[in-house]
Every structure is written in structure tokens, then in C-alpha cells.
A and B are shown apart, each in its own frame.
Chain A
Amino acid sequence: DTAVSQTPKYLVTQMGNDKSIKCEQNLGHDTMYWYKQDSKKFLKIMFSYNNKELIINETVPNRFSPKSPDKAHLNLHINSLELGDSAVYFCASSQRTGFWDTQYFGPGTRLTVL
């Protein structure tokens, strides 16, 4: 009965490849997010997605694109992977985008680019 789940847990790939990370939430939430945690453990927001409205952190390269087939899923596609993309990626969800809404996090996907 995991609230926010991600697959895969680990992903090792070569530079230049295209890969996807999947995220699913069974909480009935309207809003989902992707965060990146780098090697120094800093967590930074990448995207916020609510009812087809995508809000992007302007520092995110356009090689990264979120795709939402339905309200319960927000997948992260990464094109032309680079060494600097190696990090742990966390998915999260919240009831809405209200500032009072607590975000619930998935377990993370550790991406290693060789």
C-alpha cells in the first residue's frame, strides 16, 4: 500500500542514452513533483504538475520532460543523458498546490550515467 512509488530504484546507463523514470501515487492527489538530489545532498525542485499545468524550474535543461498519462502518474523522461545528470531523483505528490499542502515523497531513483 505504498503511497508514492518509483521505478526503477536504480538505473545505470551510458552517456547519450534516453531513459525514463516512472512515478505513481495512490493517494488521490492532484499535484505531483520531481526533485533532484545531487551528490552534495541538495534537493532541488525540477517540476510541479497539476491538472495539466506544468511549472518548470528555469534551471532544468530541456532534455528533461515530465509526462503525465493520468492524474496518478508523472513520469520523467531524460534525453541525451550527461554525466552531470547522475543523482537521486525523487517524485512527490500533494493534495493540491495550496501552500498548506504537505508533500509526500517516493523512495527515490538513483541514476548513474557512465
Chain B
Amino acid sequence: KQEVTQIPAALSVPEGENLVLNCSFTDSAIYNLQWFRQDPGKGLTSLLLIQSSQREQTSGRLNASLDKSSGRSTLYIAASQPGDSATYLCAVRFHNNAGNMLTFGGGTRLMVKP
């Protein structure tokens, strides 16, 4: 069974700290992996998309890495800010998922304290 797991489920850090969110997946046959942000009562916003042939992607203070062979991805957030507080979701497109379907992890709820 293809699954995506995110650890930790919740994380609280003081403002300014650098932090790492973890995502693991059970099948290395993937097209790509995507990180999303979800704010309470709102939809998902795509942060970074890493293709299976890539090792990392960067956008501003965010850096996502991918190690397909070990089934892992990390999202690194530099110099965290209170505005970064949200739930971060990792989603994977496995090879045998028809229709561009995403398999999501359970998310990491991040709180950045001022």
C-alpha cells in the first residue's frame, strides 16, 4: 500500500529559528512530490514541486529536498516568522496513480511564536 507519513504531527518554535519538516513515502516509484501550506479554514497553497529527477527546489526562505531512493523529503524553513504558522502537507504522485492523483501525508501543524 502506498502511504505518505509526516513527522512531527505538530511543532512549535520561537520566531527566527530554522526548522525542518519531514515526509516519508513507502514506494520510490514516484513522478514528483509537492509541499503545500494550509491555513485554518482555507484551501491549500502549493509551495514547492520537486520532480523525481531533482534533488531540491528553493523558493525564498523555503528549501525542499528529495531522496527518492530512501523515500524521504524535507522542507527546510529558514528564519521562521509568525506568518509561517500553518499546516504543511506533503503529497506524492506515485507511478500507478491514474489521473494525476495525489497521495497526501497527515500534515505537520507548525506554530511560530513571536
Contact = CB atoms under 8 A, between A and B. Distances in A.
B11 interface: no
Interface of B: 31-32, 34, 36, 41-46, 49, 51, 87, 89, 91, 93, 98-104, 106-107
B43 A98 contact: no
Interface of A: 4, 31, 33, 40-45, 48, 50, 53, 55, 57, 90, 92, 94, 96-108
Contact of B99 (A4, A43, A48, A108): A48
List of 5 A-B pairs having minimum Cβ-Cβ separation, nearest first: A48-B99, A99-B31, A55-B99, A105-B43, A43-B104
A33 to B, nearest CB: 7
A90 B43 contact: yes
Contacts, number: 67
B100 A44 contact: no
Interface of B is mostly: strand
Given A53-B99, A100-B31, A103-B102, 9 more contacts: A33-B101, A42-B104, A42-B106, A45-B102, A96-B100, A99-B100, A103-B100, A107-B42, A108-B43
